[in-house]
Chain A
Amino acid sequence: MKLRLVLALLFASVVVPVAAQDRLPPAPYAYQQLRDPAEEAKAKELMETLRCLVCQGQSIADSDAPLAGDMRHEVRSKIAAGESPDAIRRWLVARYGNWVTYDPPLDAATALLWFGPLLFLALGGWLAFGRFRRGEADGDGEA
């Protein structure tokens, strides 16, 4: 009983991802391309920008985790059923949040990511402008 409790506490601290312990063959479309090359191209492009949930840092196109295989099956099945890649991405984002997409939308959290470069360009321009003006004022062309 005590051992059970210790085990439970131990496991509770770790959510175990869907690891490769199951004994089922992969889902049909996990490792098999769609018959129509155009559809497969669409699916592949989408899968490369969807993040694997259990092997974080990899896209579902790159991962061999069973859940990634099942997600590829899901994506290919939906593409084959005529759904657009954008709709599938929205469907997944509604479930897993923006976390699941490698193509982050513009919102409050990502605004700095999008406008940061402009911000730094403006900052650089301002610094350079100040420097040039000072150079002129000194009149000695200090480099």
Chain B
Amino acid sequence: MRNRWVLFVPLAIMGLLFGAFIYRLTVPAETLIQSQWINKPMPLFDLPPATAGVEGLKSSQLADGKPRLVNVFASWCIPCRAEAPQLEALKAAGVPIDGIAIRDRPDDVAAFLRENGNPFDRIGSDQQSSVQIALGSSGVPETFLIDGKGIIREQIQGVILQEQVPEIVAKLEAMK
């Protein structure tokens, strides 16, 4: 038989497969599920206030001509505390920010705001994550950039970093 090397093809294929398996076992796949609900209007909702002394959040309030951020957070979410200074910086730069508190209790939200400051114009309480699911969001914190017409333009998953602040301000400015 001339093409003796052909006999090694199955072995080579097995080798490649094994290599692929070992690679994926040691370097797990990207598990961040990005929202597909981008460039689409905000889902309709009407959330009650998350705690005493704040306003609730209605989807119709997000189409008032002013681009803004909607921050999905929770008092029980530790990274959300690390994000607080960046939200304060955004607010200081004139960015309107609304909040959606996920699976939260009024007392806990109040304590969170006391400890970390309150950059939010309004905070809706989403106790059964229904708005979070309607947004295609899968964790906290997440931040959505909304244009003046109430269209979701971008999703930021995880904590906003200090260096992202000017970038976000510029993006919202460009939506005006």
Contacts and interface: CB of A to CB of B under 8 A. Distances in A.
Interface of A: 4-5, 7-9, 11-18, 21-24, 27, 53-54, 56, 66-67, 70-71, 73-74, 92-97, 99-100
A66 B104 CA distance: 12
A95 B135 contact: yes
Given A18-B129, A18-B139, A97-B33, A23 B82 contact: no
Contacts of A67: 129, 132, 138
B135 A24 contact: no
B133 A70 contact: yes
A15 B82 contact: no
Interface in B126-176: 127-130, 132-136, 138-140, 142, 157-159, 161-162
Contacts of B48: none
Interface centre among A7, A14, A67 (most CB of B within 10 A): A67
B76 interface: yes
B138 A24 contact: no
Nearest to B126: A70
Contacts of B132: 67, 70
Given A8-B82, A8-B86, A16 B140 contact: yes
22 contacts: A5-B162, A8-B82, A11-B158, A12-B79, A12-B159, A13-B158, A14-B79, A15-B158, A16-B139, A16-B140, A17-B138, A18-B138, A18-B139, A24-B103, A54-B138, A66-B103, A66-B129, A73-B130, A94-B37, A95-B133, A96-B138, A99-B33
Given A16-B140, A56-B31, A22 B36 contact: no
Contacts of B79: 11-12, 14, 16
B76 A23 contact: yes
B5 to A, nearest CB: 16
B91 interface: no
A8 B161 contact: yes
A112 to B, nearest CB: 15
